[in-house]
């Protein structure tokens, strides 16, 4: 029974590995329209990486729930959880950003010949996530609140990008997604949010009273409403609201 939560954690890791495999199999597609204009795109299958990262987030939540259910929390489980999170919510999302940077560079004049160094910043996110997880593992005060944004939240935001791209037909949104400066800015912001000491609420319930759970209820309501209005764009919207609520309703981490 004590190993059941660890099996969920390993499943998290496997989903992260599958996400990376799918991302690596997606190269840039170059086509030409009737007037000879060059069209550059990425294969739609990359959305499967978003699916695997989403599944990793689900089992990441469940491993903690199962550990509490069976009273099987352990130091090994804590370390294993962080190792799995590095793959699923740090490395895999960095690979998605890598692909989006490749796309943005390819759309520029002579972009296909651009230096590989322009793509390296994608992995700053992975480094920041690993730092955040290491800091979390040696800090016992982050039970019901976090110092810095947790890696699964960041991973889900990045995982939403392919889904937004393939399901949003607004040209302005597409242009933003494939602007390298937008991607660089997103990498910098998300990395800073992870390594910062901002008080961020955890989606755990100390009790079932209304007073202590108001921000979580608001966040849930925003998530439902945003999903109907914005579809996949709801993910970054909910993430922004999550940060705002965390800062407004500052709660002790223990």
The arithmetic mean of pLDDT across residues 51-75, rounded, is: 80
pLDDT level of residue 241 (50, 70, 90 thresholds): very high
Cα 201 to Cα 94: distance, rounded to the nearest angstrom: 24
The arithmetic mean of pLDDT across residues 34-40, rounded, is: 60
Q: Is the pLDDT confidence value at 188 over 90? A: yes
pLDDT tens digits along 197-233: 898 888 766 656 666 678 888 889 999 999 998 889 9
pLDDT tens digits along 14-28: 999 999 999 987 666
Q: What is the pTM of this model?
A: 0.87
Q: Which residues contact 17 (CB under 8 A, 6 or more apart)?
A: 87
Which structure tokens are listed for 226? 């945003």
pLDDT given for residue 102 in this prediction: 86
Domains belonging to the chain, first-starting first, are 4-140+157-196 (1.20.120)
The arithmetic mean of pLDDT across residues 86-109, rounded, is: 89
Side-chain half-sphere exposure of 141, counting CA atoms within 13 A: 9
């Amino acid at each position: 029974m004590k190993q059941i939560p660890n099996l969920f954690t390993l499943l998290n890791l496997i989903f992260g590995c599958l996400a990376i495999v799918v991302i690596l199999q997606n190269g840039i597609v170059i086509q030409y329209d009737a007037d000879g204009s060059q069209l550059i795109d990425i294969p739609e299958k990359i959305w499967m990486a978003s699916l695997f990262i989403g599944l990793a987030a689900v089992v990441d939540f469940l491993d903690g729930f199962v550990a509490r259910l069976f009273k099987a929390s352990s130091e090994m489980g804590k370390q294993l959880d962080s190792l799995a999170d590095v793959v699923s919510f740090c490395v895999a999302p960095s690979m998605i950003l890598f692909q989006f940077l490749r796309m943005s560079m390819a759309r520029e004049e002579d972009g296909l010949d651009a230096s590989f160094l322009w793509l390296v910043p994608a992995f700053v996110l992975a480094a920041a996530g690993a730092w955040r997880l290491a800091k979390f593992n040696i800090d016992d005060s982050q039970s019901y609140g976090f110092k810095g944004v947790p890696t699964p939240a960041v991973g889900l935001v990045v995982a939403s990008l392919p889904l937004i791209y393939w399901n949003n037909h607004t040209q302005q949104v597409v242009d933003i997604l494939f602007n390298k400066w937008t991607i660089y800015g997103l990498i910098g912001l998300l990395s800073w949010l992870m390594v910062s000491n901002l008080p961020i609420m955890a989606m755990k319930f100390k009790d079932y009273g209304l007073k202590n759970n108001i921000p979580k209820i608001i966040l849930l309501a925003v998530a439902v409403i945003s999903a109907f209005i914005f579809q996949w764009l709801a993910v970054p919207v909910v993430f922004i609201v999550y940060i705002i609520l965390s800062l407004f309703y500052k709660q002790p981490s223990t």
